Amino acid sequence: MTGKKSNLAPLRLHIPEPKFRPGDEADFSDVAVPPVDSVARPDEASLPADIQSLAFGLVRVLDNDHQAKGSWNPNLDADQLRLMLRNMMLTRAFDDRMFRAQRQGKTSFYMKSTGEEATSVATAMALASDDMCFPSYRQQGILLTRGYPIVRMMNQIYSNSQDHLKGRQLPIMYSAPECSFFTISGNLATQYPQAVGWAMASASRGDTRISAVWCGEGSTAEGDFHSAMTFAAVYNAPVILQVVNNQWAISSFSGIAGGERTTFAARGLGYGIASLRVDGNDPLAVYAAMRWAADRARTNNGPTFIEYFTYRAEGHSTSDDPGAYRAAKEFEKWPLGDPVDRLKKHLILLGEWSEEQHQAQHDDLADLVKKTQKEAEANGILGHGMHQPFETMFEDVFEEMPWHLKEQCAQMIDEQHRKFGPEWEPK
């Protein structure tokens, strides 16, 4: 070895490792859970430099006894709370049903959002319905909250004859402009600069709509994330940039994305963006943070960066087994609990809900999803022939089909004839 300095220990490369692996007993006693209102709610017009401590605290509303407290309490009425609970329960029921459909071989892929429902449902409820959402792949709760037809989501998951995306996209990569929901990309964090560009356009037009974007903590390592943060700060764009820190990026724990060094929220500080760290399993805290950020954006006080501290209860997708890389029962031991359970207990505490009502709603939503699933399956499931017409493969590459795609389309039709006989007709 050359370059050895006499009395220095050799350099060491640090490879972060999670505290617990399969076979270990997970213990989260070192995860700090500060009391409610340990970080008070500042004025929406605050300068980022004056509220930097919010990036290191934890915005909370529901305390350990399920009471809503403190300056961040959004004081929602019981109807709104029940609606929030319903939307989260619907998301969970939908996830459970579609996960099972994948396991039954009816589609190729599914991704659940279990444990993270608050980060899409409560955020969507805090936004105006026409604020533009640029989701990652785990925000199905936005669509369910905004009333997007469940059957359309299922048609997309099955890539069936009624899939309005014509069977082109991997399941769950929805697109819903009627719900101000951008087409989901499989490439990570690409939506970040796009959301900023959308917000810049809205601002340049003197519009009133703002945009909101979601990504996971793992994706914050992408260049797109940092480009977006720079643009958002430079142009004071009316955008809410959110990181759902669910601790795991497939099999890589948050330390592989830099989480050992500081909070993810703290990344916003270097850009001069107001940054919040929020209990992502507290639906009221998530709602309050989003509302605060939306008010800022709408009043030309600029972008807000939010980290939701949460936990991915299930695998990344149907394609991985979390038992192969993390300790069992981590979610049960997660110190911030389960958002559905917490809101349920809060409503019960208020005298506005009961175990019986909860069970009845759970069953009703399961029935609704099951009934809708039958409806969707009548339009076909993946790989069973009821797909979109063959020619649609070549449509929408361009507005008008150029000659080379027309030629290739004719070739593909010819191949079908050779496969299925001269009587075969394209459908």
165 binds another protein (CB under 8 A): yes
201 binds another protein (CB under 8 A): yes
38 binds another protein (CB under 8 A): no
382 binds another protein (CB under 8 A): no
The residue behind tokens 């909860």 is 358
194 binds another protein (CB under 8 A): yes
Interface stretch with another protein, choices 115-123, 143-151, 367-375, 398-406 (CB under 8 A): 398-406
Question: What residue type is assigned to position 88 of the chain?
Answer: M
Which three-class secondary structure state does DSSP give residue 79?
helix
CA distance 186 to 16: 26
Would you give the end-to-end CA distance of the chain in angstroms? 68
173 binds another protein (CB under 8 A): yes
Near another protein by CB under 8 A: residue from 193, 268, 280, 380? 193
| Cβ–Cβ under 8 Å, residues 16 and 227 | no
Residue 329's nearest CA partner among 25, 29, 17 is: 25
CA distance 62 to 278: 12
Q: Which is nearer to another protein, 188 or 336 (CB)?
A: 188
Site for another protein in 111-140 (CB under 8 A): 132, 134
402 binds another protein (CB under 8 A): yes
411 binds another protein (CB under 8 A): no
Interface stretch with another protein, choices 138-146, 174-182, 307-315, 319-327 (CB under 8 A): 174-182
| Cβ–Cβ under 8 Å, residues 177 and 160 | no
Dihedral sign for Cα atoms in the order 186, 188, 189, 194: negative
Token digits of residue 391:
């020619």
Query: Contacts with another protein: how many residues (CB under 8 A)?
Result: 44
DSSP track, 396-421 = TSSSS--HHHHHHHHHHHHHHHHHH-
Closest contact distance (angstroms) between CB of 234 and another protein is 6
Site for another protein in 56-85 (CB under 8 A): none
The residue behind tokens 């974007």 is 213
Question: What residue type is assigned to position 291 of the chain?
Answer: R
Near another protein by CB under 8 A: residue from 5, 11, 356, 403? 403
- Which residues contact another protein by CB under 8 A? 132, 134, 164-166, 168-169, 173, 175-177, 182-183, 185, 187, 190, 192-202, 204-205, 211, 223-224, 227-228, 230-231, 234, 396-399, 402-404
